[in-house]
Amino acid sequence: MIHPAMRAYQNVAGYSLTDRQADATCFRLLIEELETAAASSDPSVRLKALTKNQRLWSMIMKANSLDSGATNYEDRELFVRLASQAQRYGIRAILDTNLSLAPLIGIAETVLEGLESSAGPEQGFDTDAML
């Protein structure tokens, strides 16, 4: 007899995201939000998207600034540099409402492509299946 807690864990484990899948999902959501903001004339939609952009890149910078030994130095340095560029441009875009969001979308798409290409064969994870 399997304990009910173990059965529940096994059911949920089938829907768990790997770290790479979770990162890719974050970037997909960011891209979607930035594209929506770029197409909108509502300043609050733009500010909300730019705020999320700043938060995500801030977390990435913090995670890669700390030496946990999980990622090699060159990769961490690259992510810190990307985070710095994305945050600086994001600040400029917050201050200048006429500034295009295309560079931020481009950076996020490049990172997403890298996450998806180095992940190998996908298991077809579907976030809708969780709901």
pLDDT at residue 108, as a whole number: 96
Please check the confidence at residue 99 and state whether its pLDDT lies above 90. yes
pLDDT of residue 42: 96
| Residue 41 domain boundaries | 18-117
* CA gap 59, 92 in Å, rounded: 19
Q: Is residue 9 part of a domain?
A: no
Residue 13 lies in a domain: no
Mean pLDDT computed over every residue of the chain = 84
- Specify if 125 maps to a domain: no
Bigger pLDDT: 75 vs 8: 75
Which pLDDT score is estimated for 9? 64
**89 belongs to a structural domain:** yes
Residue 123 lies in a domain: no
The 10s digit of each residue's pLDDT in 32-66 is: 999 999 999 999 999 999 999 999 999 999 988 88
Domain contains 65: yes
Query: What gap in Å lies between CA 3 and CA 79, rounded to an integer?
Result: 43
pTM value? 0.76
Task: Say yes or no to pLDDT of 23 above 60.
Answer: yes
Number of domains in the chain: 1
In a domain, 103, yes or no: yes
Buried b (16+ CB within 10 A) or exposed e, 101-113: beebbebbbebbe
- What local confidence, expressed as pLDDT, does residue 10 receive? 65
CA distance 78 to 85: 11
